[in-house]
Amino acid sequence: MKLTIYWVTRDALSIRRIREKFNLPSYRSVNGETPVDIREEDLPLLRETEKRGFIQIRNK
């Protein structure tokens, strides 16, 4: 599933851990967004990460 993640947090350690957990690219645009391809089984955990305020999931 193609999504765009906006990084709300600026904590480098949290961003690194989220990227490692979901195998996300290290690319971030000037707007603070990262285009990703997430597996369906990882989506509930990614939504929980969004609820905790680390990211925003945007459908672009």
Tell me the residue range of the domain where 45 lies: 2-58
How many folded domains does the chain comprise? 1
| High-pLDDT (> 90) share of the chain, % | 95
* More confident position, 59 or 18: 18
Nearby residues of 31 by Cβ (< 8 Å), 6 or more positions away = 6
Mean pLDDT over the full length of the chain: 94
pLDDT bucket at 59, cuts 50 / 70 / 90: confident
pLDDT bucket at 60, cuts 50 / 70 / 90: confident
